[in-house]
Amino acid sequence: MSTQHSRAAARLLVAPSVVLLFLWMIVPLAMTVWFSFLRFNLLMPGTREWIGFLNYEFFLTDPAFFAAVANTLAIVLGVLAITIVGGILFALLLDQPFFGQGAVRLLMIAPFFVMPTVSALVWKNMFMNPVNGLFAWLQKSVGMAPHDWLATTPLLAVIVIVAWQWLPFSTLILLTALQSLDEEQREAAELDGAGALARFRYIVLPHLSRAITVVILIQTIFLLSVFAEILVTTNGGPGTDSTNLAYLVYAQALLQFDVGGASAGGIVAVVLANIVAFFLMRMIGRTLEG
């Protein structure tokens, strides 16, 4: 029973953490907004004049911005496609009874525990390197010219690396969803004359739809801000071929020392992320209701 008294006490007691969290969020956001209206360049100390929307104008008309938006979307959509299709296939495979199932499932999750910088470097130096890499060796051993992943298809390389990291996550979520499918439904479909493919199409896939939405939601949040993998492999290049929004903001602030421009970019990224979130939540609301 909550009385007037206990409610007041409760408010008083949670107040410090609420205030702290609020400040924690609002202070950086307010400062970013403030900086985005200033000429604030670390190479020109002392000049912090108000320039209105000029930073936004520069950022939004920069050709690198459009490349970055396109690359961000490519990374999100590419990784989602690979992890969901791959995740469903792996989940179906791991759901079968076989010898050493426990050990294989454990190994399957392992990539998720590897730090992004580490895994990206392993991929860069041991797999995708055109001289020493495993892929180059495989190509050379069948007489092909080695493919230089990071120089010729940098965005694809980033997508492959990030997808490898997120595949265990989607596999795990989809596997648990698969295991919650009522066995009698599967048997009923079998008796109704549905073959393996029809059972997948009409019974398994609809059952997985919720889990798939959850995977899309969580992964999109993280994939919009992929950074470490780009930093340690391609540095956003060549040119802006593998620069996404997060990396563009970083380059603006810490490579060109333009804090004002970077702040404007940060705010633009926040707005874009919210637009994506809006559509995502609508889609999810519909799936989770049904």
Partner 1 sequence: MGSIVLEKVEKTFGEVTVIPPIDLEIGDGEFTVFVGPSGCGKSTLLRLIAGLEDVSAGRVLIDGRDATDLAPAKRGLSMVFQSYALYPHMSVRANIAFPLKMAGMTAHEIDAKVTAAAATLNLTDYLDRKPKQLSGGQRQRVAIGRAIVRQPSAFLFDEPLSNLDAALRVQMRLEISELHHQLGTTMIYVTHDQVEAMTMADKIVVLNKGRIAQVGSPLDLYRRPDNLFVAGFIGSPKMNFVTGPVAAAHGAHTIGVRPEHLAISADGGDWPGTVGVAERLGSDTFLHVDAGDLGTLTVRAGGDVGFRHGDRVGLTPDPAAIHRFDDKGMAIR
- Closest residue by Cα to residue 218 from 102, 112, 99: 112
| CB nearer to partner 1: pick between 11 and 201 | 201
Output the smallest distance, CB 176 to partner 1, in A.
18
Least spacing, CB of residue 280 vs partner 1, in Å = 21
Which residues in 178-237 contact partner 1 (CB under 8 A)?
A: 182, 184-185, 187-194, 198, 202-203, 206-207, 209
Q: Which of 244, 238, 241 is nearest to 223 (CA)?
A: 244
Closer CB to partner 1, 73 or 214, in the complex: 214
Q: Which is nearer to partner 1, 176 or 256 (CB)?
A: 176
Whole-number minimum distance, CB 182 to partner 1, in Å? 7
Task: Give the shortest CB-199-to-partner 1 separation in angstroms.
Answer: 10
Shortest Å, Cβ 189 to partner 1: 7
CA torsion 196→198→200→203, rounded to 10°?
-120
Give min distance, CB of 105 to partner 1, in A.
24
Q: Which residues contact 151 (CB under 8 A, 6 or more apart)?
A: 130, 238
* Contacts (CB under 8 A) with partner 1, residues 125-184: 182, 184
Q: How far apart are CA 130 and CA 229, in angstroms?
A: 18
Q: Residue 38: beta bridge partners?
A: 50
Give the nearer residue to partner 1 in terms of CB position, either 57 or 187: 187
Q: Which is nearer to partner 1, 6 or 209 (CB)?
A: 209
Q: What is the DSSP letter of 49?
A: E
Identity of the residue, 82 or 203, whose beta carbon is nearer to partner 1 in the bound complex:
203
**Phi, psi (5° rounding) for residue 99?**
-70, 135
- Rounded to 10°, the helix 54-61/63-95 angle is 60
Binders of partner 1: how many residues, by CB under 8 A? 18
Closest approach of partner 1 to the CB of residue 290, in Å: 7
Q: Which of 108, 15, 78, 19 is nearest to 219 (CA)?
A: 78
Alpha helices in the chain (DSSP H): 4-36, 54-61, 63-95, 101-109, 116-122, 134-141, 149-152, 154-179, 183-191, 196-199, 205-223, 228-233, 245-250, 259-289
Distance between CA atoms of residues 6 and 11, nearest Å: 9
CB closer to partner 1 out of 101 and 180: 180
Q: Which residues bind partner 1 (CB under 8 A)?
A: 182, 184-185, 187-194, 198, 202-203, 206-207, 209, 290
